[in-house]
Amino acid sequence: MKSFDAIVIGGGQAGPFLAARMVEKGMKVALIERKFLGGTCVNAGCMPTKTLVASARAAHVARSGAVYGVNIPGEIAIDMKVVRGRAEAVTMNARNGLIGWFAGMDGMTVIYGHARFEDPKTVSVNGETLTAPRIFLNVGARPVIPDLPGINDIDYLTSTSIIHLDTLPRHLAVIGGSYIGLEFAQMYRRFGAEVSVIEHGPKLASREDEDISDAIADVLRSEGIDIHTGVSDIAFARSSDGITVATDSASIDASHVLIATGRKPNTDDLGLDAAGVITDKHGYITVDDKLATNVEGIWALGDCNGHGAFTHTSYNDFEIAAANLLDGDDRNLSSRIPAYALYIDPPLGRVGMTEKQARASGRKIMISTRPMSRVGRANERGETKGFMKVIADAETKKILGAAILGIEGDEVIHGIIDAMNAGTTYPALQWSVPIHPTVSELIPTLLGDLKPV
SS (H, E, C) 44-67: CCHHHHHHHHHHHHHHHHHHCHHH
Instruction: Work out the number of other CB atoms within 10 angstroms of the CB of residue 344.
Output: 21
The Cα–Cα gap between 124 and 113 comes to: 9
Question: Greatest CA span in the chain, whole angstroms?
Answer: 70
Torsion angle defined by CA atoms of residues 45, 300, 206 and 374, in that order, rounded to the nearest 10 degrees = -70
Nearest in space to 29 (alpha carbons), one of 123, 113, 135, 119: 135
- By CB neighbour count within 10 A (0-12 exposed, 13-18 middle, 19+ buried), where does 135 fall? buried
Q: Of 283, 308, 304, 286, which Cα lies nearest the Cα of 295?
A: 286
| Residue 436 designated active-site | yes
Which one from 114, 256, 414, 436 is the annotated catalytic residue? Answer: 436
CB 352 within 8 A of CB 337: yes
Residue 59 phi, psi (nearest 5): -65, -45
Please list, residue by residue across 261-274, b when 16 or more beta carbons sit within 10 angstroms of its beta carbon and e when fewer do.
Answer: bbbbbbbeebebee
The tally of CA atoms less than 13 A away on the side-chain side of residue 140 is 23
Active site residues: 436
